[in-house]
């Protein structure tokens, strides 16, 4: 690809390029490569030409390719042609479209002109540009009529349908600040506000160990920060690890840790994701004994697994034991989360509701028992322990999460509201 101002579209990813190259190897280039009449510079067809050259270098006998030689009077004409030739062949994801809109705006195009060229509603470029740092937007733009006018940069906005959601939106935008890019919807705005709040906490610094009357929170990787725990000294581990792609391998280390510190026959109770549930179970089974699969049912908004076309209404909870399971009484294997999944802008972005953690803590332990959470997050397990008379030891690698947990635990300890809800 060249650095020409009309080369605005993103490069093909590896799979797309591989498919194109295979097709050219089998059939040759079937869509002409567009070049300028003036210099022969390629305007459209860079990926086709690159694949053709690579195949020739690899010894593949591919025929010469067709050219479409065109005369362009100026760069804007080339930009318009490239957009018209490619936008209906290539489906741009939202981030790619925003980059394209920002590039056109930086070249001085008006919002209406961009909308017409990209083939989107006239309001879309304005929303896209709200995500662009202010320094990249020109002072003046040129419309389809060729007239120059002052550029207008729309401020962040959120579309909501109720007074309650209006208050949530106002809180989220206030937390994000005026210079933050505009989010696409209320839920994303709140998530970004929570992440911003957590990032602010990280800059304040936290002690490596913070203690209360019946709780302790440590800052660090649990594999190091909790290494001093004596073997077979913990009554239960109740936790909610990260179960994204990067977090799944941690379940092997969690299982090894639990096998060492849990008393014989005691439980590890862990939330899990659904997409990698099979791998999660396999990793936990490397060091622990399988006991049961439980569930937390989720009212309110449901998480949409778009690639599977499934709306999830429950969260898996896995029970494993250190050695042969020794029941301490009857247990129920399912509960319902309170509320409808809402979080305030001050919560941890992965924070769970308190009810289910209190449910598992009360069922798996007795008053005075020691409960450990190696992924303390927003401190919900600790709050459940304080509310039910258990001792608690938590740990987290993120100083922001530790700061939030300590704040919530201190509030609960002093008689605040944190001990009664999430």
Phi, psi of 3 (to 5 degrees): -95, 20
For residues 365 and 288, membership in a common domain is answered with: yes
> Residue 322 and residue 288: Cα distance in Å, rounded?
5
| 266 and 371 co-located in one domain | yes
In a domain, 329, yes or no: yes
Query: Based on the structure, what is the number of domains in the chain?
Result: 4
Residues 247 and 390 in one domain: yes
With helix as H, strand as E and coil as C, how does the chain read?
A: CCCCCCCCCCCCCHHHHHHHHHHHHHHCCCCCEEEECCCCCEEECHHHHHHHHHHHHCCCCCCCCCEEEECCCCHHHHHHHHHHHHCCCCCCCHHHHHHHHHHHHHCCECHHHHHHHHCCCCCHHHHHHCCCCHHHCCCEEECCCCCEEECCCCCCCCCCCCHHHHHHHHHHHHHHCCCCCCCCCHHHHHHHHHHHHHHHHHCCCCCCEEECCCEEEEECCHHHHCCCCCCCCEEEEEECCCCCCCCCCHHHHHHHHHHHHEEEEEEEEEECCCCCHHHHHHHHCCCCEEEEEEEEECCCCCEEECCCCEEECEEEEEEEECCCCCCCCCCCCEEECCCCCCCCCCCCCCCCCHHHHHHHHHHHCCCCCEEEECCCCCCHHHHHHHHHCCEEEEEECCHHHHHHHHHHHHHHHCCCCCCCCC
Q: Look at residue 144 and tell me if it is in a domain.
A: no
d(Cα 100, Cα 291) in Å, to the nearest integer? 52
- Residue 345 sits in a domain whose CATH number is 3.40.50.150
Q: What is the pLDDT of residue 180?
A: 63
Assess if residue 309 is contained within a domain.
Answer: yes
178 and 325 part of one domain: no
CB of 153 closer than 8 Å to CB of 204: no
Residue pLDDT, tens place only, 314-343:
999 999 999 999 999 999 999 998 765 454
Q: What is the pLDDT of residue 350?
A: 46
Same domain, 83 and 190: no
In a domain, 386, yes or no: yes
Domain that includes residue 114, residue range: 93-138
State residue 325's pLDDT score: 97
Q: Is the same domain home to 261 and 353?
A: yes
Same domain, 239 and 179: no
Q: Final residue of a domain: which of 91, 110, 127?
A: 91
Q: Is residue 100 part of a domain?
A: yes
Task: Specify the pLDDT at position 128.
Answer: 65
Are 243 and 214 in the same domain?
yes
Q: Which regions in the chain score pLDDT beneath 70?
A: 1-10, 36-38, 68-101, 103-104, 107-109, 116-168, 170, 173-175, 177-187, 190, 194, 196-199, 300-303, 339-352, 416-422
- Summarised one tens digit per residue, pLDDT across range 98-108 is 666 676 677 66
Residues 258 and 178 in one domain: no
Same domain? 382 vs 261:
yes
pLDDT, one tens digit per residue, over 76-106 is 666 666 655 554 444 444 555 666 667 667 7
Identify whether 276 is part of a domain: yes
């Amino acid at each position: 690809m060249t650095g020409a101002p009309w080369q605005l579209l993103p490069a093909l990813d590896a799979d797309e390029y591989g498919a194109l190259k295979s097709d050219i190897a089998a059939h040759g280039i079937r869509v002409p490569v567009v070049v300028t009449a003036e210099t022969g510079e390629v305007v459209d067809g860079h990926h086709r030409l690159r694949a053709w050259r690579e195949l020739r270098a690899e010894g593949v006998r591919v025929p010469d390719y067709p050219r479409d030689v065109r005369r362009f009077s100026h760069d804007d004409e080339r930009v318009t042609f490239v957009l018209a030739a490619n936008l209906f062949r290539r489906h741009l994801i939202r981030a790619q479209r925003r980059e394209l809109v920002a590039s056109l705006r930086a070249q001085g195009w008006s919002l209406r002109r961009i909308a017409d060229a990209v083939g989107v509603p006239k309001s879309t470029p304005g929303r896209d540009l709200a995500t662009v740092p202010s320094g990249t937007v020109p002072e003046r733009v040129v419309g389809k009529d060729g007239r120059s006018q002052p550029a207008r940069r729309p401020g962040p906005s959120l579309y909501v349908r109720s007074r309650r959601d209006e208050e949530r939106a106002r809180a989220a935008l206030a937390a994000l600040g005026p210079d933050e890019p505009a989010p696409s919807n209320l839920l994303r705005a709140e998530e970004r506000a929570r992440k911003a709040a957590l990032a602010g906490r990280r800059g304040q610094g936290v002690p490596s160990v913070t203690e209360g009357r019946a709780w302790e929170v440590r800052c660090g990787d649990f594999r190091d920060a909790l290494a001093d725990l004596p073997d077979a000294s913990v009554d239960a581990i109740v936790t909610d690890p990260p179960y994204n792609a990067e977090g799944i391998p941690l379940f092997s280390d969690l299982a090894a840790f639990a096998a060492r510190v849990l008393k014989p026959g005691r439980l590890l109770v862990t939330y899990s994701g659904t997409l990698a549930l099979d791998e999660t179970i396999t990793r936990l089974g490397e060091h622990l004994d399988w006991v049961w699969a439980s569930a937390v049912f989720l009212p309110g908004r449901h998480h949409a697994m778009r690639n599977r076309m499934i709306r999830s209404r429950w969260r898996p909870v896995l029970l494993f034991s250190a050695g042969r399971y020794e029941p301490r009484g009857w247990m129920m294997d399912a509960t319902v989360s309170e509320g409808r999944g809402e979080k305030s802008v001050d919560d941890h972005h992965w924070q769970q509701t308190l009810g289910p953690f209190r449910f598992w803590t009360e069922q798996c332990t007795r008053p005075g028992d020691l409960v450990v959470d190696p992924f303390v997050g927003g401190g919900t397990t600790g709050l459940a322990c304080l509310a039910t008379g258990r001792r608690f030891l938590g740990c987290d690698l993120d100083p922001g999460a530790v700061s939030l947990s300590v704040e919530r635990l201190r509030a609960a300890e002093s008689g605040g509201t944190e001990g009664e809800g999430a």
